[in-house]
A and B are shown apart, each in its own frame.
Chain A
């Protein structure tokens, strides 16, 4: 992986630049849509909020929540991708490919449709549970053999688990078509029509996990150098794995509970960040955080602008960008630091 920026000074400057870009995207997310607004509208909304002014209502009730949700979940999904790619030691190992997304969705759908849970504060925990179950399943399937876990096998296991959860979800939905409308958005994935209370329910989880992942950068570097080396350097590898797993489950599950099944953010962004700042997780995590937010904001804005006044589902946009990327990585075979995808992971 060739990195673009090599000096630390440059990396700090780059991060600063990306944060500025993020603010620009946040502003555009408020301004652009089926109707465009101006900065003056936002200014007047902040200084003199008028509950009867339609412009103010749309910006505050419709676009502001979308912006907040896109920023929070984009960052979380991207960082979840960083972690899962580190855990599987595979460039394709993003939560959506591993079936962690669909595991979450399956559990959410089961409890919403069959047990009539509607409080998002409770749904979040089911999302975590689903993500955890899927992750454990994939790990078990991927490690069942004499040759140990190869990263390719983990990916195939993920794809199988993903297919299984997707079809189970479909069956449950078809048996209860009345519940279909309550859960359809989780299946398709969308940011529109979500309210602020939804993100507030999961924001603490996401925030704490993001911050802790940013602080784990150095330990992640040690872990990335291979398990035996990490052991030799005195790292508690088992604890590290568990920590990373929990962080990933919380980040992926928490975002999915809010926006539903959005794939490929966790696949693209870590690669993008790596091409900018190289392989050190000290830099990768903050960069992925900001890049993920920018990506999801941009994708969300484009859903409104491509075919106005109708909206394209967000999942379609991310798949359009993500699937070719997936093919490209699969084609390259994910050679990273001389490791090929077909070689086994030491455990």
Chain B
């Protein structure tokens, strides 16, 4: 029993154990996240020294690079972190629910649906209501897409693989719709259209960052609170049902959450691909036993991937600033192929 901590409350109404290794690994992931974020803040077109970053962050003293750090890098790194975390957690949930390693919000078209609604709103209604309503519309789009997929899945002959196929069709359709709206509307250039479809963190401001941060934290806590249900579900339909899980309600609630997470990140960054597909696979390799630690690790690794990819996109091709989505899909597509090879006997 050396490898675990056992936690009991006084009357044993709460008791659980934690595998030490998993806890250490999770902490390691979070530390690496901090490190990556620091690097992202320090290194850019010019280098801001470490002590200045600390001084600015904790308001110790005014610094000379105030604008570059405070208005450009800080929001970008923070929102990158949240976008990555939300996409990764959404991916974990979707893969868990569909029970298919190839499923993720962007592969099955949820990101696309969110993009469609967001772009529609930006083109036709943003003047009347204001840009700050974009996340709401993106979330509505994501929920609608999930609803369509859910309707398809009610059909008895539909296997999990076929849901993925249907989702891929939806994703293609959504891309075409976004293209169409952007081409026909006067307010967008084709450049912006391209950015929306690839996903990028250009020009994120503090307001967006704070709002997405707060929503993510709230959602994450709710999901952690419901994690027991997620654990039950992972034992398979029949076992979960016998242990008292209402399958249909569970699926709807959790898909709703992942739609919220997706919509939020799309409204900030457009359709960043493959994060939701990739991250859960990595985190499941790191943490084996704990749903709560799994969620934390997934969020952490997703954040690391996006912040890192965005940093490379900023640094590698100066003076060009490349959309982060190009990198994530550049890494993600070969990984998708690797998954196919790895799971080749399960289709």
Contact = CB atoms under 8 A, between A and B. Distances in A.
A156 B168 CA distance: 10
Nearest to B161: A152
Interface of A: 92, 141, 144-147, 150, 152-153, 155-157, 159-161, 163-164, 166-168, 170-171, 174-175, 177, 263, 307, 310, 312-313, 315-316, 319-320, 322-324, 326-327, 330-331, 333, 341-342
Q: Which of A145, A152, A157, A160 has its CB near the most chain B CB atoms (within 10 A)? A: A160
Given A164-B333, A174-B320, A326 B345 contact: no
A174 B322 contact: yes
Interface of B: 102, 152, 155, 157-159, 161-162, 164-166, 168-170, 172-173, 175-177, 179-180, 183-184, 198, 273, 317, 320, 322-323, 326-327, 329-330, 332-334, 336-337, 340-341, 344-345, 347
A144 B322 contact: no
Nearest to B334: A164
Given A166-B329, A167-B332, A333 B162 contact: yes
Given A167-B332, A168-B330, A312 B183 contact: yes
Contacts of B164: 156
A307 B337 CA distance: 40
B326 A327 contact: no
Contact of B169 (A141, A144, A153, A323): A323
A311 to B, nearest CB: 9
Contacts of A167: 273, 326, 329-330, 332-333
Contacts of B152: 331
Contacts of A166: 329, 333
Contacts of A342: 159, 161, 347
A147 B347 CA distance: 9
A110 to B, nearest CB: 15
Main secondary structure on chain B at its contact with chain A?
helix
A192 to B, nearest CB: 13
A327 B184 contact: no
B183 A313 contact: yes
Contacts of A322: 172
A323 B184 contact: no
Nearest to A328: B169
25 contacts: A141-B337, A146-B345, A150-B347, A152-B161, A156-B347, A163-B333, A164-B336, A166-B333, A167-B330, A170-B330, A174-B322, A307-B184, A310-B184, A312-B180, A315-B179, A322-B172, A323-B169, A323-B170, A323-B173, A324-B169, A330-B165, A333-B162, A341-B162, A342-B159, A342-B161
Given A163-B336, A307-B184, A319 B173 contact: yes
Nearest to A306: B184
B60 to A, nearest CB: 39
Given A160-B340, A170-B198, A152 B333 contact: no
Contacts of B330: 167-168, 170-171
Contact of A152 (B157, B317, B322, B347): B347
B260 to A, nearest CB: 24
A327 B323 CA distance: 30
A333 B158 CA distance: 8
Contact of B166 (A144, A159, A331): A331
Nearest to B331: A167
B334 to A, nearest CB: 6
A342 B285 CA distance: 29
A92 B165 contact: yes
B339 to A, nearest CB: 8
Nearest to B102: A156
A38 B340 CA distance: 56
A313 B273 CA distance: 23
A167 B345 CA distance: 27
A111 to B, nearest CB: 20
A316 B179 contact: yes
Contacts of A315: 176, 179
